[in-house]
Structure 1
Amino acid sequence: MSFTDKIEKYSLTIFFVLSYVITIIATLVILIANSLFTPMMILGVFSPTISAIIVSGLIGGWTEIKKLFKGYLKWKVNYKWYLAGFFLMIGPLIFTLFYHLFGG
């Protein structure tokens, strides 16, 4: 069994382990060095996406990564639900922005 076959066989396990490892490392760096809070927080938040890209790249190279990104563009529900989700995210974002701008 080759290396690629092993990765493909255990891809879901590798994805979850890698995602947790990236998140834990980012959290530990935040706890140790407060000056790196923002970059490490961003890394921790996007660790599942980063893990998916890494695992896809190991399994099938660039073609698999392209297939992964094409899956993000598939519209499987009515566009109204995407708009609702988008505007539901905008509300807390605007609230947080005003909170920080006006002395929160």
Structure 2
Amino acid sequence: MPVEGKEPDPRFTLANERTFLTWLSTSLALSAGGVAMAALPRDVFVPWVRTALAVVLVVLSGLAAALAYPRWRQVQRALRQEKPLPRLALAPVFGYGVAAVAVLALILIVLSG
């Protein structure tokens, strides 16, 4: 379905595509982190905490992948219609989610050492 409006500067379109691909790369990294967390031996961390960390990472991965294309379309539409770019409402979710996993993992590493 074509987007109405004028063709934006190719640099902006390419930057939007790079951002889309970065969201997919981020999703892949989060997924790999979740799988790695789930695959840790049972004696590393408390099992339910390890599972919770893995689930949070995989959920964040799914969100990043699922929202990458709609975000690309929104930005592309705004560029073509010369409107302000839409804000990224889920940025805090990703930032705080990954930070919470990192802090909890760090605490568990220090306590188990």
TM-score between both structures, scaled by the size of structure 2: 0.36
Identify which of structures 1 and 2 has the higher relative contact order when contacts are C-alpha pairs closer than 8 Å and 6+ apart. Answer: 2
